[in-house]
Amino acid sequence: MNFTLLIESISSFISGIPLLLYVITIGIICTIAFQWIQFKKFIYAWKITLSPADHTKSDSMTPFQAFINTLSASIGNGSIAGVATAVYAGGPGSAFWIVIFGFFMMAVRFAEVYISAWYSLHKKSTTESGLGGPMLYLHDVIGGTYLAPLYAIACVLFGLTVGNAVQTNSIALSMHTAWSVPTIFVALGMGLFAAYILFGGDKRIIVASDAIVPIKVGLFFISAAIIVLYHITALPDAIALIVRSAFSSTAVTGAAYGISVMSALKYGLNRSIMATESGLGTIAILFGFTQNPDPMRSALLGMIGTFVSTIVCFLVALCIVVSGVWSSGLTSTQLTIAAFNTVFGFYGGWLVSFMSVTFGIGVLVAYAYITRAAFLYITGGRLQTIFICLYCLAAFFGALTNPTLIFTAADIPLALLLFINLFGILYLLPGISRIVRNNLTNNGR
């Protein structure tokens, strides 16, 4: 067995249906424990998100800047290529399940961010980490002495692969396809860009995210809206197809052999987790650094981040279905480009490639912060220069590596992050849910 097949076998074993069921079960438990907070406090959460009053002082970032970095980390090439793959393999029904599971994952995101923010206020003095997120609150979980460093190791591996190499690889492929840019030049550019960001420290990372997110989110929503409006007469049928095929394989078997309800469920849940990153604990690390005196505010901001990521995924799928290209046999970025080409013609590929670049750079920047935090936890705050070298090398070689190997290898640390972090959330949930309910009652929220 060669190395690639070995990685594929391991990945398939640890990231299959049992893990996905484990994730959605905890999502349902969190939803019940917090009394359907993602629905009850949805409007209030948006009010907080859009409020200009969020200027909590912090040595690193404010809660709103953590929210911006949340969007930067979550909205990446997984939205462009990953969702298209889900529609190809799971049919239009996968888009329906992306939304359904996305709402449950909002409760998971609320839980992990609230726990992280609460622990950063009340428990920091009892640990040596000086960090937020799972690396802090896992110390209060059974086996936490081992789980916290294991989580940090998995986080570093995930950051170097999904947060870094996967993004630079997608950028290199897009630029080579659209503009015939040699891959080696893109690899060098990504490596140097990573060095520029990291040597600038926290401030440069935050400033870069603040600049990139409005561009990539704004461009995506505008272009997606144009595609949907262009095909507006086909929209009712597209929505009906998405809903029907989520519950019946007969809705799609005439166009795509082998698609079933289970396929739609599997790919819908998988892409919901991948795209929103809810349950991984990585976004909780960002909010843990803010030291916001109101954990509820941070948790609601994090929850809205999951919602926005879910809507982005659904819109990608809707563009593919409403344009009629979903059964073309294409997959990944090619399928997304085909949808954009129905409106923008030849320039559709250019537009998707540009979004791939901005999406990828945004994730690369946000994960520079997240991955460094995990690395410094492992090394006790030392060897920061070595981390910068590792991150830059991952950006360089990621652009040159076989994309299948990178995506497959990334499933392993992702599964570890999910299993460890969700176990911690489940263990701490009884106490935290009581605090949240008391907070809501006392403040009349």
Of 437, 49, 241, which is closest to residue 445 (Cα–Cα)? Answer: 437
Tell which residue, 273, 277, 276, 301, has the closest CA to residue 288.
301
The C-alpha torsion from 152 through 156 and 161 to 165, rounded to 10°, is 160
Other residues' Cβ atoms within 10 Å of the Cβ of residue 418: 25
Task: Spell out the residues 6+ positions from residue 23 whose beta carbon is closer than 8 angstroms to its own.
Answer: 108, 269, 273, 279, 418, 422
| pLDDT tens per residue across all 445 residues of the chain | 566 666 666 666 666 678 878 888 999 999 999 999 999 999 999 998 887 555 444 455 677 777 887 787 777 777 887 788 888 888 898 899 999 999 999 999 999 999 999 988 877 544 444 467 899 999 999 999 999 999 999 999 999 998 999 889 888 887 887 788 899 999 999 999 999 999 887 778 778 877 888 888 888 999 999 999 999 999 999 999 999 988 876 555 444 444 566 667 777 777 777 778 889 999 999 888 776 788 999 999 999 999 999 999 999 999 999 999 998 888 777 788 899 999 999 888 889 888 888 888 988 998 998 999 999 999 988 899 999 999 999 999 999 987 667 766 777 888 899 999 999 999 999 999 999 988 777 765 5
- φ, ψ dihedrals at 325, nearest 5°: -95, 0
| Overall pTM > 0.85 | yes
Query: Which of 414, 248, 310, 320 lies closest to 101 in space, CA to CA?
Result: 310
Helix (H, G, I), strand (E, B) or coil at 357: helix
Q: Is 293 helix (H, G, I), strand (E, B) or coil?
A: coil
